[in-house]
């Protein structure tokens, strides 16, 4: 299965666990002896009922969700949620707080403002190029929710701990670190995550929403833009992205049964980050772009002495079997995305390459 595969550090769509890919290959021509591919079975069949119900059940077990939380699968990615969330949850006279920690937070803020909703940007790290996570944020007690981006793929920062909002429910874009660590879900009214970074392939967004937030959804919205539509129909109001949901279910099974849950996954992720940041810190050649207290365990962003060396590094890394190391086009530099499915072995191999590259060009 692993023949001719590279070490995949892509930021999204990103690496999937090998055993998940092997299962997909097995099911691709005939799923569960149905005589049909997983891409061909009906979303109204018992086979798909089992898939989506298992995905919901595993999500609830992994995150410790009670019956007051609903797990939804919606198309459109996190980018649709930037507008869908305020559209559903902020009525006339309501207000919400937003924390701006980079590109995706900025986009979420812009979408809420396009809708004319009352939002307050209560903290921002733009003053230092989004290289840190703001602390000691003064949230508004009357806000319906406080929106954060838990991990910032482009700038390589992450909330190590979620902020104290003094009782205001958190709303979080967790696209790039969902299922990477345990956390207190009771602080959150809604969580959304595009699957393609940490829990599956592109094509579906997981939305976890508390029952009291569902009660805020107005009737006068198009059916496909209402959370209540998905909650009432178990995400089966229309034909959902079946293959993507099936793949997410397999990743959740891998997390639960092979890895052993989120505590264990968090320990593995911490080890990977320590190895990679340690290599960078020991070097006088590589420079991490995120400030030490805010560094992401999912996306390690770094620079080399000049752009020509960065281009050479990315090119030679790919030739050596390390893919996806070019930084986002908006910021340049280099980035290694070390999501759940990227193993410790991959990170150790990368740091060995980095050390050799430094010896050659440093």
Handedness of CA 10, 13, 19, 21 (dihedral sign): negative
- Which long-range CB contacts under 8 A does 56-64 form with residues at least 24 apart? 56/234, 58/249, 58/252, 58/253, 58/255, 58/256, 59/206, 59/208, 59/252, 61/256, 62/179, 62/252, 62/255, 62/256, 62/261, 62/262, 63/179, 63/182, 63/185, 63/208, 63/262, 64/182, 64/185
Those residues whose C-beta lies under 8 Å from the C-beta of residue 251, and which sit 6 or more positions away, are 16, 17, 20, 179, 199, 200, 340, 341
pLDDT of residue 4: 85
Instruction: Delimit the domains of the chain by residue range.
Output: 22-259, 261-361
- pLDDT tens digits for 312-360? 999 999 999 999 999 999 999 999 999 999 999 999 999 999 999 999 9
261-361 has which fold?
A: 3.90.1150
- pLDDT tens digits for 165-198? 999 999 999 999 999 999 999 999 999 999 999 9
C-beta separation of 62 from 179 below 8 A: yes
pTM strictly above 0.95: yes
Residue 31: how many CB atoms within 10 A of its CB?
21
Domains 22-259 and 261-361 share a fold: no
- pLDDT tens digits for 219-266? 999 999 999 999 999 999 999 999 999 999 999 999 999 999 999 999
Residue 44 pLDDT class (50, 70, 90 cuts): very high
- Catalytically active residues are 104, 173, 197
Residue 1 pLDDT class (50, 70, 90 cuts): very low
DSSP state letter for 5: P
Instruction: Say if residue 2's pLDDT is above 60.
Output: no
Those residues whose C-beta lies under 8 Å from the C-beta of residue 223, and which sit 6 or more positions away, are 229, 237
Q: Which CATH architecture has domain 22-259?
A: 3-Layer(aba) Sandwich (3.40)
Residue 16 pLDDT class (50, 70, 90 cuts): very high
- pLDDT tens digits for 146-162? 999 999 999 999 999 99
240 Cα distance to chain centroid: 20
- Alpha helices (H) along 90-232: 103-114, 211-214, 227-232
Instruction: Say if residue 78's pLDDT is above 90.
Output: yes
CA-wise closest residue to 84 among 224, 187, 196, 178: 224
Whole-angstrom CA distances from 241 to 154, 173, 198 are 27, 20, 17
């Amino acid at each position: 299965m692993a023949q001719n595969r590279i070490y995949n550090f892509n930021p999204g769509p990103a690496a999937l666990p090998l055993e998940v890919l092997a299962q997909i290959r097995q099911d691709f021509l005939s799923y569960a002896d149905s005589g049909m591919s997983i891409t061909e079975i009906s979303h109204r069949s018992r086979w798909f009922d089992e898939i989506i119900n298992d995905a919901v059940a595993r999500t609830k077990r992994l995150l410790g969700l009670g019956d007051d939380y609903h797990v939804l699968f919606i198309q459109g990615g996190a980018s649709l949620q930037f507008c869908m969330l305020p559209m559903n949850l902020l009525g006339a006279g309501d207000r919400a707080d937003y924390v701006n920690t980079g590109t995706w937070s900025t986009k979420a803020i812009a979408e809420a403002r396009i809708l004319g909703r009352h939002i307050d940007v209560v903290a921002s790290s733009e003053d230092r190029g989004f290289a840190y996570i703001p602390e000691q944020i003064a949230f508004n007690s009357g806000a319906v929710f406080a929106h954060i981006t838990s991990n910032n793929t482009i700038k390589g920062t992450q909330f190590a701990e979620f902020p104290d909002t003094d009782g205001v429910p958190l709303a979080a874009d967790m696209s790039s670190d969902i299922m990477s660590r345990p956390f207190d879900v009771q602080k959150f009214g809604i969580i959304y995550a595009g699957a393609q970074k940490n829990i599956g392939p592109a094509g579906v967004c997981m939305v976890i929403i508390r029952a009291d937030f569902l009660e805020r959804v107005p009737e006068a919205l198009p059916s496909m833009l209402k959370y209540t539509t998905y909650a009432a129909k178990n995400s089966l109001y229309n034909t959902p992205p079946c293959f993507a949901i099936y793949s997410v279910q397999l990743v959740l099974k891998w997390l639960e049964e092979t890895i052993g849950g989120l505590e264990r996954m968090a320990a593995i992720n911490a080890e990977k980050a320590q190895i990679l940041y340690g290599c960078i810190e020991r070097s006088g050649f590589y420079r991490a772009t995120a400030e030490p207290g805010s560094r992401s365990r999912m996306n390690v962003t770094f620079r080399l002495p000049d752009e020509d060396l960065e281009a050479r590094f990315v090119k030679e890394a790919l030739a050596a079997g390390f893919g996806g190391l070019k930084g986002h086009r908006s910021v340049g530099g280099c980035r290694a995305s070390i999501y759940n499915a990227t193993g410790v072995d991959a990170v150790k191999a990368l740091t060995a390459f980095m050390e050799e590259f430094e010896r050659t060009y440093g």
